[in-house]
Structure formats: C-alpha cells, structure tokens
Amino acid sequence: MSGIIICKTKTADNPYTFLNTKMSVYTYEELCYYIFNNMVLVGKDDLTDRLTAWLRDEIEMYDLADKVDALNQKNAYIQDVMVEILTFGEFYGTEDIKEFLGECKRIRTLKPYELDKRRADSYMMYKHYIKADAIYDEIIEYKESHDEYDEFLGNVYHNKGVALAGNLQLEEAKECFIRAFSLNKNNESLIEYFCVMAVTVDTATLQREIRKRGMPAGFLDDLMSEIADSKEDVHEMSIYNKVQKAVYNRMHGDIEDYDRRMDSLLSTLKDQFRNQIG
C-alpha cells in the first residue's frame, strides 16, 4: 500500500488480499486503512472466513476474528462488520469513526446508480479501467433508458472517457468526452477531448477543431505547454498521460525520446492489462 502507515501490531508473513482490487495488507493497521478508504469496494466475501483465518493465523488477533465470525453468523450488515474492525484497535479515533459512520449513512441514501458510480470511480483509483468502464456502461444504459439526460450522466460519460483513455481506447474516449460536455457543460470534459485529439490527429486538424469549438487563441500552445511541463514519466502517471508526453516528443522532433517512451509504454500496457483481467 502507498503512503506511510505506523503499525504497532504484528506483521503477517502472508498478506491478506482484497479480491476486487488485488490490494494486499500485512497488518491490522493496513487493513483498517484500506477499509476506511475503500468502503464501497469492500464486499461481503472480503470479510468472511478467509479474513478471520488470516486474523488468527497471520497476525494473532484472535478476539477480533471471533467478533467478526459472530457478526457474520448473525448476518450482520457489512458496514457493521467494518465498524467492528475499525473500532477494535486504536488506529482510528472517535472522530474518524464518526466520519466513517456518517459516510455509511450517506451511502444508504444513494440511488443504486449513484452507488455504482462511487464504486466505478473507486476502481479508477486503482487503474482497474475495465471494471470501471463496465459499471459506467450499466449506468449509462439505465439513465438513457429512462430519458435522464442530465449533468450526472455527463459526468459518467466523462469518467468513462478517462477509463477508455487509460486503456488507450482513444477514439472511444474522444466520443465520451464530447458527449460528456454536451450534458455537463464542464470545460474539463472539453479540455480532455482536445487532449485525446492531440494524441490521435495531426496538429492542423487539431487546430481546426479548436477553432470550431470556439476555444480562445493560444489554447493549443497552452495545451502543449501543460503536457511539456508535466512530470517526467513516473509510476503514478496513467498510460494515457505517458502517451501524451510521447506525442509531444514526436511533434517537436524528439524521435529518440518518442521511441524510448513508446517501447516502455507497450511493456507497461501489457502488464497493466494482465493485472486488470487476472
């Protein structure tokens, strides 16, 4: 897990892995951190016998395992099981638990498609673009079948575009961003549309589209400057962002850097795809 978590409990030799995201935790504190920050992705299957066996065998938290087993035997709500885990130790304080309970209450008020969007957005954080895209499709199908062409649907299209761009499905991403802008009127969707265009068309075509959409003079220069000024390729950058950097190199004649980035990208894309479908 990323970030620094101060752990006071035993560290497991074998981690506990959440099946939806393939994230692994080695301590009670890491378990709490994951649950607290990924409430909508934690499923009932994550908190059953597999977890309690890990609590006993790997980190020797027998009392907590017994409590979780007891709740599951009563068919308790999944939120109640999560709260039991979070409150067992001292990793989170009273105010944190109140915040978590408040979020549980808010989630219960969401419409099914709103909760689905939360879940898909959370998958995006872990670069599980295929899972996220499938959920966005279900939301779009539902909303459009009910003639609900609103800002919410526009935001779903925007996030679907981000998921598609993350898997380099750039033509489909471009369509999603322009569809999103037609519904949410958010300039961010339009900017993402042009970012995808910068990767998929030549500069002259891009400039014509910018003029057609009524963007201000100098917009292309600003767009290219933003790509040029972005951080050097790092692990946290999405595949799509790295492609933008590569295209910038190509447009400015840096063929050696372009070839280097594209070779790296192809390898990374294969690994990322295997991780998503594994």
The predicted-structure confidence for 139-162, as pLDDT tens digits, reads as follows 999 999 999 999 999 999 999 999
Query: Residue range 37-65: average pLDDT?
Result: 96
The answer to whether residue 26 scores a pLDDT higher than 50 is: yes
Residue 272: the pLDDT is: 54
The average confidence (pLDDT) of the chain is: 85
pTM: 0.81
C-alpha span between 261 and 239 (Å, rounded): 11
**Contacts of range 131-138, beta carbons closer than 8 Å, 24 or more positions apart:** 131/20, 131/276, 132/159, 132/160, 132/163, 133/160, 133/163, 133/164, 133/167, 136/160, 136/163, 138/113
Give me the domains of the chain, ranges plus CATH numbers.
16-109 (no CATH), 112-277 (1.25.40)
The answer to whether residue 96 scores a pLDDT higher than 80 is: yes
Residue 14 near residue 58 (C-beta atoms within 8 A): yes
Calculate the CA dihedral of residues 184, 185, 189, 193 and round it to 10 degrees.
120
Query: Residue range 59-88: average pLDDT?
Result: 96
The helix or strand, by DSSP H or E, that contains position 163, with its residue range, turns out to be helix 151-166
The predicted-structure confidence for 236-263, as pLDDT tens digits, reads as follows 445 455 555 555 555 555 556 645 655 5
Query: Residue range 39-58: average pLDDT?
Result: 96
Neighbours of 102 (CB within 10 A): 10
The answer to whether residue 274 scores a pLDDT higher than 80 is: no
Tell me the residue ranges of DSSP E strands in the chain: 16-18, 23-25
Residue 15 near residue 26 (C-beta atoms within 8 A): yes
Residue 223: the pLDDT is: 72
Q: How confident is the model at residue 2 (pLDDT cuts 50, 70, 90)?
A: very low
Q: What phi and psi, each to the nearest 5 degrees, are found at residue 104? A: -60, -45
